[in-house]
Amino acid sequence: MNIAILIIMFILTITAVIYQLYDKIYLPGLIQKIKKLMEEKKFQEARILINKLLQKKSEDVQLKWFKSQTEIEQGQYILAIVTLNDILKADVFNREINPATIHQQLADIYDKTGRHKEAMTEYYSIIQYEPDNFQANVNVAKNLLKSGKTGNAQNYLKRAHKIDGSKVEPPFLLGQIMQKTGEYRQAIAYYFTALKNDPSCEDAMYGLGECYIKLDDHSNAYDFFLKVRSLHGGMQRNAEVYIGLCLFKLGKYSEAAEYLETGLKGISEKLPLWNEGMAKLADSYIFCRDIGKVREIYQKILANHPSNSEIRHKETILTNFFNNKELIDFYNLDGDKFQQTVKKIFERLDFIIDSMGINSENSISLKISRIRKSSQRVTEFIFLDRTPRLVTVTVLEEEFEKMKASRAQIAFFITLFDFEDGCHQYVASKPLELINGAEFYKILKGYDPF
């Protein structure tokens, strides 16, 4: 009996020694082999070895961790989720494998598979274990932004920025939030911080350009879009369109047209920026006096966006003008010839020009007079405008105030184009007459409506 007990004890001792040798010598060697296979991206071989070892050591945390990593690499996300949750349930961790690490892996899987709600839960768990986990705070913020919760997102981004102020992502995302909510100056401050952390951050430069445009600071906007363009990145064409828009606002119409032409070739006709850029390209050619190009651009816009009422409206305004050579020739006169021709028109109609003011290259105001048959001298105020537009009531109100200041007895507003419907109602009880492009054509031919 004693011999049997001794034999059993001997067997148990030998077994224990074998297990100790397995754990201390054989298993570490296999673990190193698994690591090497994974480094060499031989995930299937690694997985076969891991599964064999798990048959003997089913609760080994490190083996389960390796198993989850091979499942992730092979795209077997559901199996990986199960394995990672098994590790969490076992509640046995080491220095390398801790709850925060497991939750991060789960969050990555959920994000990758579009399960953002579950990912959010995992990120919150990470922060619970590691409140100063920079990436977890950023990822929570990103997920909150996806669900439109910008206020909460800001809190996490500010916390992340406090944890590590050298990173570009928190200030950049805060800048985007401020930009979307219309707080452009705050957005600019955040974008500058992002650029300080990463001077090559193309997105921050682009955001700065957009914000400066919103603040009507087209000079600064121009500078930042030029920087974006110089990087030759994915936003180069968009930047060229914005450079063109800035140059237009700065009165450099020829340069604006060049940039707009180049940039618009590289962006989709479906984008709002394409519509905006094409409209400004047409306006640029208007100021460059290339009416043929204007018509061509309007037709291209309407071919892609037939419901664009603003462009269709502009095309309607210009239709008579496009088909009238005399009006086009008058429109195309340069500054000096424009003034001389206007002067000749009224002198030919026997007017005395008391004064003539050059308001812009497209508009002239005159104070003129002539002796009526009753020997009475009548003073008239003429505002001649060749800006391609439908004249609004607001424009008439401004000019009528000038007319009253001139003490003229009657005023005429002349446009090469036409007036809004409300304009005729506005002048009904005022000493102000309206002359559109069709009537002005008659004046060019010698007709006297004055």
Q: Which residue has the higher pLDDT, 418 or 31?
A: 418
The C-alpha atoms of residue 1 and residue 116 are separated, in whole angstroms, by 66
The C-alpha atoms of residue 61 and residue 317 are separated, in whole angstroms, by 77
The C-alpha atoms of residue 424 and residue 31 are separated, in whole angstroms, by 90
The C-alpha atoms of residue 65 and residue 95 are separated, in whole angstroms, by 13
Helix (H) or strand (E) holding 378: strand 377-385
pLDDT at 340: 87
Q: Name residues whose C-beta falls within 8 Å of residue 406's C-beta, 6 or more positions apart in sequence.
A: 367, 379, 381
Say how many Å lie between the first and final Cα of the chain, rounded: 139
User: Residue length, the chain?
Assistant: 450
Res 31 pLDDT > 80: no
Res 40 pLDDT > 80: no
Q: What is the pLDDT of residues 254-300, one digit of tens each?
A: 999 999 999 999 889 999 999 999 999 998 988 887 878 888 899 89
pLDDT at 27: 56
Tokens (6 digits) for 294: 């204007």
pLDDT at 18: 53
- What percent of the chain clears pLDDT 90, i.e. is strictly above it? 30
Nearest to 110 by CA among 84, 141, 137: 84
What number of other Cβ atoms are within 10 A of residue 120's Cβ?
20
- Rounded mean pLDDT of the chain? 83
- Overall average pLDDT of the 311-320 stretch: 75
Tokens (6 digits) for 194: 């992002």
Q: Which residues of 70-91 are buried (b: 16+ CB within 10 A; e: fewer)?
A: bbbeeeebeebbebbebbeeee
| Confidence grade of residue 34 (pLDDT, cut at 50, 70, 90) | low
Res 246 pLDDT > 70: yes
- Overall average pLDDT of the 357-372 stretch: 77
Comparing 15-24, 92-101, 176-185, 365-374, the range with the smallest average pLDDT is 15-24
Comparing 1-10, 89-98, 201-210, 265-274, the range with the smallest average pLDDT is 1-10
Contact 177, 209 (CB under 8 A): no
Res 69 pLDDT > 80: yes
pLDDT at 88: 84
Q: What is the pLDDT of residues 124-145, one digit of tens each?
A: 999 988 899 999 999 899 988 9
What number of other Cβ atoms are within 10 A of residue 264's Cβ?
23
Q: Among 3.40.50.2300, 3.40.1350.10, 3.30.1540.10, 3.40.630.180, what is the CATH number of 329-444?
A: 3.40.1350.10
Q: What is the pLDDT of residues 196-235, one digit of tens each?
A: 999 999 999 999 999 999 999 999 999 999 999 998 888 8
Q: Which residue has the higher pLDDT, 372 or 61?
A: 61
pLDDT at 163: 95
Domain ranges of the chain: 329-444
Comparing 14-18, 100-104, 166-170, 424-428, the range with the smallest average pLDDT is 14-18
Contact 149, 177 (CB under 8 A): no
Q: What is the pLDDT of residues 231-243, one digit of tens each?
A: 888 889 999 999 9
pTM greater than the 0.75 cutoff: no
Q: Which residues of 198-232 are buried (b: 16+ CB within 10 A; e: fewer)?
A: beebbbbbbbbbbbbbeeebbebbbbbbbbbbeee
> What type of residue is 76?
Q
pLDDT at 445: 81
The C-alpha atoms of residue 285 and residue 296 are separated, in whole angstroms, by 11
Q: Name residues whose C-beta falls within 8 Å of residue 211's C-beta, 6 or more positions apart in sequence.
A: 179, 184, 185, 187, 188, 191
